[in-house]
Copies of this chain bind each other. A is one copy, B any other.
Amino acid sequence: MSNFSRHIAIVGAGLVGSLLAIYLRKRGYRISVFERRPDMRSNRLDSGRSINLALSNRGIRALHEVGLEDLLRQNAIPMHGRMMHDVRGQLTYQPYGTDGQYINSVSRSGLNKVLMTEAERQGAQLHFEHRCSQVDLNNTTLTFQHDPTHTHAFDYIIGADGAFSAARGMMQFSDRYDFSQDYIEHGYKELTLPAGDGHVFQMEKNALHIWPRERYMLIALPNPDATFTCTLFFPFEGDPSFATLATPQAVSEFFKNQFADIADRMPHLQDEFFANPTGSLVTMRCYPWVRNRTLLIGDAAHAIVPFFGQGMNAGFEDCRVLNDLLTQYSDRWEDVLPAFQQLRKPDADAIAQLALDNFVEMRDLVADADFLLRKKIEARLHQLYPSQWIPLYSMVTFHDNIRYSDAYAIGQRQKKIMDRVMATPGIAQTWESVNFESIVNQLN
């Protein structure tokens, strides 16, 4: 059977569903995409969803392979490092790499619209306001809420419908289906730092800004309109928490104490804090990702917390890996589907754990002297042995050919080695004269 006669349904026209539609159209499949929301190209975006995202090398590689890299770079703002803000407003800048590496602040909706339009241009059929009410895993059919008496049959169904996937919901009730949803104690709130007079950025444009405060943190990413989207990651309970910031006055006071350098420049802080929803943060793990001819991909298969900036990148990498396997197995889906989940599940588990770990790093450690020394030593190791000692953040963010699971395992070894180095008495004074070669050799 040629690809052209096979009809594949993709559930969800989000970032991953739309990119996957492009990949599969390029292979010649007939593609129908079903999205429960209205077309965002003619509607206002849902409020409260994250409005910008960090696109890094894995995502870029996946876009590059369908020729979209250049188009998407146009509206991206490069962020070359982290800018840390302490309670007194003092800044510390940490570049992401010595070779000018950077991540990109991109608009979620802008990127999604480009991908949808490209999918349609490639010949995919996008159907909006189609909410799945039934995914029949035995017969590979979909039923939609607005038309419950009709079922639609496909050769394959791919659930790219996010953390609360309908397709996964069906799988969950089948026998021997492993699944977990784990929320963290923190939620998030999006806030805006407006542009300054004359539409200028009020802080360094080309950086990811972090206010690390141990039990919580604020971050900010730049937007093309010279605003920053700030996200407060904050406990639901305890003191301070969303529970204790119950009045506009309490919010203002708290921001003035903790985020002194921007509190005065956020005129809509009080309104936004109470108008915007408080989001929760979940890790979803499941297995298998395949039941018969239905596959899960992206957040539907592995929703993760946002602290490594890899949710979208991991989903885009899924699309690229699936495409590679289709090539490798000459589009024999019966081989590709099991191969995909076997290959990709350890990587999904690794980035899920890395994302959880990085929250601790970002809020607890980034402002810590020991942490900064550790980073300095690691940077020197990388400078001296660039192909042998690659910092974990770099492996994950800038190396699109190192599997997440490998990065995780190497990172664990590096951590053990660095724990020993940091335990050396007087290391803060003597670090420049340690035997770097013997450190690197411990990796092998």
Q: Are A181 and B183 in contact (CB under 8 A)?
A: no
Interface-side segment among A47-55, A108-116, A170-178, A193-201: A170-178
- Cα distance A181–B177 when bound, in Å? 7
Q: A280 near B: Cβ within 8 Å?
A: yes
Copies of this chain held together in the complex:
2
Q: A144 near B: Cβ within 8 Å?
A: no
Tell me how far the C-beta of A320 lies from the nearest C-beta in chain B, rounded to whole angstroms.
30
- Cα distance A271–B127 when bound, in Å? 51
A181 neighbours in B (Cβ, 8 Å): 172, 177-180
8 A Cβ contacts from A261-311 to B: 280, 282
Q: A182 near B: Cβ within 8 Å?
A: yes
Q: A236 near B: Cβ within 8 Å?
A: yes
Among B176, B178, B179, B280, contact of A176 (Cβ-Cβ < 8 Å): B280
Tell me how far the C-beta of A422 lies from the nearest C-beta in chain B, rounded to whole angstroms.
28
Q: Contact residue range for chain A?
A: 10 to 19
A177 neighbours in B (Cβ, 8 Å): 181, 183
Closest to A176 in B: B183
Closest to A185 in B: B176
A178 neighbours in B (Cβ, 8 Å): 181-183
Tell me how far the C-beta of A7 lies from the nearest C-beta in chain B, rounded to whole angstroms.
31
Among B180, B236, B280, contact of A179 (Cβ-Cβ < 8 Å): B180
A176 neighbours in B (Cβ, 8 Å): 183, 236, 280, 282
A180 neighbours in B (Cβ, 8 Å): 179-182
- Cα distance A178–B181 when bound, in Å? 5
Tell me how far the C-beta of A287 lies from the nearest C-beta in chain B, rounded to whole angstroms.
10
Tell me how far the C-beta of A243 lies from the nearest C-beta in chain B, rounded to whole angstroms.
13
8 A Cβ contacts from A160-212 to B: 172, 175-183
- Cα distance A183–B178 when bound, in Å? 6
Tell me how far the C-beta of A66 lies from the nearest C-beta in chain B, rounded to whole angstroms.
35
- Cα distance A181–B173 when bound, in Å? 10
- Cα distance A246–B172 when bound, in Å? 27
Closest to A283 in B: B178
Tell me how far the C-beta of A442 lies from the nearest C-beta in chain B, rounded to whole angstroms.
28
- Cα distance A181–B178 when bound, in Å? 5
A175 neighbours in B (Cβ, 8 Å): 280
- Cα distance A181–B280 when bound, in Å? 21
A182 neighbours in B (Cβ, 8 Å): 178, 180
Interface string of A405-421 (1 = CB under 8 A from B): 00000000000000000
A179 neighbours in B (Cβ, 8 Å): 179-181
- Cα distance A68–B281 when bound, in Å? 47
Tell me how far the C-beta of A407 lies from the nearest C-beta in chain B, rounded to whole angstroms.
25
Closest to A181 in B: B179
Known contacts A178-B181, A180-B181; 12 additional CB pairs below 8 A are A172-B181, A175-B280, A176-B183, A176-B236, A176-B280, A176-B282, A177-B181, A178-B183, A179-B179, A179-B180, A179-B181, A180-B180
Between-chain CB contacts (< 8 Å), 10 pairs = A172-B181, A176-B183, A176-B282, A178-B181, A178-B182, A178-B183, A179-B179, A179-B180, A179-B181, A180-B181
What are the 4 A-B residue pairs with the smallest beta carbon separation, nearest first?
A180-B180, A176-B183, A176-B280, A179-B181
